[in-house]
Chain A
Amino acid sequence: MGAGGPAGVGVAPGAAEGSAAGAGSGAGAGSGAGAADRPGGRGAGPRSRALDGLRGYGLIAMMWIRATMTYRTSFALMLVGNMAITGLDFVAIYLMFRHVDVLGGFTLPEIALLYGLCSTSFGLTDLLMGNTDRLGARVRDGSLDTMLVRPVPVLAQVAADRFALRRLGRVVQGLAVLVWALSVLDVAWTPGRVLLVPMTVLAGTAIFSAVMVAGAAFQFVAGDAAEVQNSFTYGGNTMLQYPPTIFAKDLLRAVTFVLPLAFVNWVPALYLLGRPDPLGLPGWAAYAGPLVGFAVFVPASLAWRAGVRSYRSTGS
């Protein structure tokens, strides 16, 4: 259970063509600053910081993709392997349903909806932010130092570090289960409900990402504690694959009001399925995902800032 991010792929030797443009996102924005002799002086508002971060993320991620894409077969194998290992959780659910018709009052397609929503969100998070759990290792080997002297917000660099497209495997299998669930389930579709599905996936990605960031910040304090982060992310993901009805009420309250993982899939999925929320949340709560996703990022980014400030580096 919770078969985590599989062991890293050996990064392939590079023979990519030149340093020609094509680093996607960045190329256009880059030339704009040409006139300014010292681009460093530009306004450093939170918005431009976020844009700088996204741009830097794109640049670094592209470098990693190019570095790994030179070994195409190895990449394909790892992608399939990633899909298989992350799909095992659904195999477990499937095997359970060889013995039962309902679990916690939910049918297999209903659970598949829960599974598909949270696996897709978690897969996207794992793809985009998954390497933040390597922060402790980055601190230990000193390579965080080199990130701190770059003109890109360090969180973007940490998140883009070792960006691995093979992690699309989890997204793909999650999406496959989600599509299957949506095609067999009998949902009373309205435009709002249709919109709720992609919105939920994105909000879930934001919520999981915030947990990742907070977990990474914790590694500034306890360098070896990557597993604590995993227990909230991978553990949370495993929990969300099952219906909320099987868990204790206190646990549900904790993951609704304290660490609002419930908004990743439970709350919106129950609404789609026309089932009552076990904690009695109103129907509109299903649409609150994006708000929740935004709200959890505030403490997470504060924790991250505190973490960077307390960074001790290694050596003398």
Chain B
Amino acid sequence: MRLHVPLWCAVAAGGFRRYATYTTATAAGVFTNTVFGFVIAYTYIALWEERPGLGGYDQAQALTFVWVSQALLATSGLMGGGFHEELQQRVRTGDIAVDLYRPADLQLWWLFTDLGRAAFQLLGRGVVPLAVGALAFELALPGDPVRWLLFLLSVLLGAVVSFAIRYLLGLAAFWLLDGSGVNLIATVVAIFFSGMLLPLSVFPGAFGEFVRLLPWAAMLQVPLDVLMGTQGAGGAGLVRALGFQLAWALTLLGLGRLAQSAATRKVVVQGG
């Protein structure tokens, strides 16, 4: 399982191109993200007017949260639409047996495909809503290019965490007859615990402390805090934020690997 760079670049490029063909769908998605951005922005304005400084954000930061999370919604695969339904389908039809015997590692193959998709959706579905939001409202976007690079790194780590969770979901099809129930629950959980519904810093008390430790925080809340510099004081806070993401990424990828070998054994035993 050595990392063969050109191969994986090609796989990621394939994922990118595949989504790039859906131009109408992308445009429609941009429109939706923008509409929701406006609706949620007004509710946040009302909330932060009532309670300035709520969750440690001022109003401009709260609005930044709205528009950047709309921009990242597709990238982080929070609302489904990623690869895991396809993976489940392949398990159900038995095509997965072929995949498992390919020389290319299954987990890495899907990881890079999904990262290609994420990259496309970051550009295709992220840039326009964020630009619209920045024109219509006063946002707290940093001017420092280093911060943007750190943000991109954090988005990448978030995308890996998101992938790793959905990979487990996909493999769950080996043990479950029907994936739709788990997928539904997974979506509910992801929307609620990622900060999509409301910034996790606004969640009250010990419950708030707890949600901020869960892997879903790595998908949206942490990248946003890295962008706005609200991740905790200075360099240490930054290291902690990225370290948090990296730790979850590695843990979940490791779990995925365990599940994958269990699944492989299952396939071997059943003969595909």
A residues sitting closer than 8 Å to B (CB atoms) are 1-4, 6-10, 74, 77-78, 81-82, 84-85, 88, 91-92, 95-96, 98-104, 222-228, 230-232, 235, 238-239, 242, 245-248, 251
How far, in whole Å, are A2 and B43 apart by their CA atoms in the complex? 14
Number of interface residues of B (CB under 8 A): 42
- Complex contacts, A6 vs chain B, CB 8 Å: 183-184, 187
Residue of A nearest to B38 (CB): A251
B217, chain A: closest CB distance, angstroms: 16
Are A242 and B28 interface neighbours, CB within 8 A? no
Residue of B nearest to A245 (CB): B46
What string of 1s and 0s marks CB contacts (under 8 Å) between B21-50 and chain A?
010110111011011101110110111001
- Complex contacts, A102 vs chain B, CB 8 Å: 50
Are A3 and B188 interface neighbours, CB within 8 A? yes
Are B47 and A96 interface neighbours, CB within 8 A? yes
Are B51 and A227 interface neighbours, CB within 8 A? no
Checking A88, A95, A230 against B188 with a beta-carbon cut-off of 8 angstroms, the contacting residue is A88
B45, chain A: closest CB distance, angstroms: 7
A6, chain B: closest CB distance, angstroms: 5
B residues sitting closer than 8 Å to A (CB atoms) are 22, 24-25, 27-29, 31-32, 34-36, 38-40, 42-43, 45-47, 50-51, 54, 79-80, 85, 178-181, 183-185, 187-188, 191-192, 196-198, 202-204
Given contacts A10-B178, A92-B198, A224-B22, 10 further A-B contacts (CB under 8 A): A1-B40, A2-B36, A3-B187, A10-B179, A10-B180, A74-B178, A95-B203, A226-B25, A231-B34, A238-B39
Are B46 and A242 interface neighbours, CB within 8 A? yes
Are A8 and B180 interface neighbours, CB within 8 A? yes
Residue of B nearest to A9 (CB): B180
Are A231 and B36 interface neighbours, CB within 8 A? yes
- Complex contacts, B27 vs chain A, CB 8 Å: 225
Known contacts A3-B188, A7-B184, A96-B47; decide if A238 and B36 are in contact (CB<8 Å). Answer: yes
- Complex contacts, B42 vs chain A, CB 8 Å: 242, 246-248, 251
How far, in whole Å, are A77 and B180 apart by their CA atoms in the complex? 10
Are B181 and A77 interface neighbours, CB within 8 A? yes
Are B36 and A91 interface neighbours, CB within 8 A? no
Are A103 and B25 interface neighbours, CB within 8 A? no
Checking A4, A81, A228, A239 against B28 with a beta-carbon cut-off of 8 angstroms, the contacting residue is A228
Are A91 and B192 interface neighbours, CB within 8 A? yes
How far, in whole Å, are A92 and B192 apart by their CA atoms in the complex? 9
Are B180 and A103 interface neighbours, CB within 8 A? no
- Complex contacts, A242 vs chain B, CB 8 Å: 39, 42-43, 46
Are A1 and B31 interface neighbours, CB within 8 A? no
Residue of A nearest to B183 (CB): A7
Interchain residue pairs with CB less than 8 A apart (16): A3-B191, A78-B180, A78-B184, A98-B204, A99-B54, A103-B50, A223-B24, A225-B24, A227-B28, A228-B32, A231-B32, A231-B35, A235-B32, A238-B36, A242-B46, A248-B42
